């Protein structure tokens, strides 16, 4: 009896096992992208910081079209029917959740391996208040109390645009920030934003997520029947002038102070100093205070031996300053269009009286007070 030996190529013997290993995560019968679906790249675990989103993805093959249904902890996620899924903004409570996806077609279905979401607490919100232009009365721009930022957490994956808050006009004033403000019985970290449309907003600084239109409160500085000022034939602030200067915050009085420009239907212009409640946005101290002034002298816009402050000829451009219970304001012209003079005014923080009034003559005279430093135009 002769023995017959079958010598088959090793590749033939291994081929079925290779198909089962690569294409058979759940269905070894699918090859060359046809038949029942099979997964070629599983979802992977994701780690994010609270406040960020996480994205899970899968790569699958099989006879088209393929349908996807993502699940969280075994339950279908409504609307999650693409090859990738992005979570809502996460919190630490989401840590440990598992995500998987079912892929199906007319020939069958397959379910991926689960991927786990890990959410870390991240950085604690800043407790350093920003109450005036460039942090301090000297306008240094230095936050000397910053302790949290390091090269480890300010990097390409963590540093960048988080989103945007929607407002009703251009923003030339620097936004300000307060931590732990009581609003509606809750402690909030608040971003205060003033616009050239004459509005002041208080936003929850921790709520930023994509495009955010919700606010804690919003106040208009316009009087009844008024609009913001036109640009006074000057393109420096255009097309409207409302609140241009950076406000200032006095936390001891629970107030944010802003200067706003407006006009009524008859074409009369106004400059007003407002003190708004930090928690509600309502006017404080019986305000607002309409700004009027005269000073002994001659020159542009003088009458009867007094220089007269004409509200239409000025905009409050440098950031407001608060020191020792006094609010300081300084005034610039519209494109050096005469008549105008240099004005520095100081008001009691609670409207008892105007405390100081300085005026200079000539179109180029500077206001030399140690507390006053010109602001620069800023946009957010």
pLDDT digits (tens, 9 = 90+) for 314-348: 999 999 999 999 999 999 899 999 998 889 999 99
Q: Is residue 85 part of a domain?
A: yes
Determine the Cα–Cα distance for residues 256 and 273; give it in Å rounded to an integer.
Answer: 10
Q: Is residue 110 part of a domain?
A: yes
Q: Is residue 256 part of a domain?
A: yes
pLDDT digits (tens, 9 = 90+) for 15-53: 333 333 333 344 444 455 579 999 999 999 998 877 788
CA torsion, ordered 285, 218, 127, 321, to nearest 10 deg? -50
Residues 336 and 280 in one domain: yes
Residues 282 and 350 in one domain: yes
Q: Is residue 143 part of a domain?
A: no
CB atoms within 10 A of CB 50: 17
pLDDT digits (tens, 9 = 90+) for 227-237: 999 999 999 99
The model's confidence at residue 350, banded by pLDDT at 50, 70 and 90, is confident
The dihedrals phi and psi of 188, each to the nearest 5 degrees, come to: -130, 145
% of the chain beyond a pLDDT of 70: 82
Q: Is residue 132 part of a domain?
A: no
Question: Which residue range is the domain that position 19 belongs to?
Answer: 11-119
Helical H runs in the chain? Answer: 10-23
Q: Which residues pair with 348 in a beta bridge?
A: 326
Q: How many domains does the chain have?
A: 2
Strands annotated E in 43-198:
46-49, 55-57, 59-61, 67-72, 75-76, 84-86, 98-105, 108-111, 115-120, 163-165, 176-183, 186-194
Strands annotated E in 152-305:
163-165, 176-183, 186-194, 199-204, 210-212, 217-220, 227-228, 248-250, 255-263, 269-277, 289-290, 294-296, 302-303
Q: Is residue 2 part of a domain?
A: no
> Is-above-0.85 flag for pTM?
no
């Amino acid at each position: 009896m002769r023995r017959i030996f079958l010598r088959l190529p090793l590749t033939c013997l291994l081929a079925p096992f290779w198909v089962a290993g690569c294409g058979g995560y759940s269905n070894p019968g699918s090859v060359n992208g046809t038949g029942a679906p099979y997964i070629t790249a599983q979802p992977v675990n994701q780690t994010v910081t609270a406040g960020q989103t996480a994205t899970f993805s899968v790569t699958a093959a099989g006879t088209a079209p393929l349908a996807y249904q993502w699940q969280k902890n075994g339950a279908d996620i409504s609307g999650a029917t693409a090859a990738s899924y992005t979570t809502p903004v996460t919190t630490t409570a989401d840590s440990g959740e598992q995500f998987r996806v079912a892929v199906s077609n007319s020939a069958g279905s397959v379910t991926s391996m689960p991927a786990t979401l890990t959410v870390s607490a991240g950085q604690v919100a800043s407790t350093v208040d920003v109450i005036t232009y460039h942090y301090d009365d000297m306008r240094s721009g230095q936050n000397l109390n910053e302790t949290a930022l390091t090269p480890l957490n300010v990097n390409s994956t963590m540093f960048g645009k988080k989103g945007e808050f929607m407002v009703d006009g251009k923003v030339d004033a620097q936004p300000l920030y307060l931590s732990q403000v009581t609003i509606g019985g809750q402690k909030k970290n608040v971003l205060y934003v003033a616009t050239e449309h004459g509005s002041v907003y208080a936003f929850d600084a921790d709520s930023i997520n994509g495009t955010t239109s919700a606010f804690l409160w919003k106040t208009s500085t316009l009087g009844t029947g008024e609009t913001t000022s036109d640009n006074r034939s000057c393109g420096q602030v255009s097309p409207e002038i409302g609140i241009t200067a950076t406000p200032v915050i006095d936390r001891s009085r629970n107030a944010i102070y802003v200067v706003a420009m407006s006009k009524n239907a008859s074409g009369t212009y106004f400059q007003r100093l407002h003190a708004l409640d930090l928690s509600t946005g309502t006017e404080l101290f019986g305000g607002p205070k309409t700004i009027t002034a005269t000073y002994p002298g001659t020159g542009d816009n003088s009458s009867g031996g007094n220089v007269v402050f004409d509200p239409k000829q000025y905009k409050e451009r440098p950031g407001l300053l608060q020191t020792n219970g006094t609010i300081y304001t300084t005034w610039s012209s519209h494109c050096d269009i005469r008549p105008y003079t240099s004005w520095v005014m100081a008001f009691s923080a609670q409207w008892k009286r105007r405390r100081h009034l300085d005026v200079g003559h000539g179109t180029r005279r500077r206001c030399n007070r140690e507390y006053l430093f010109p602001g620069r135009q800023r946009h957010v």
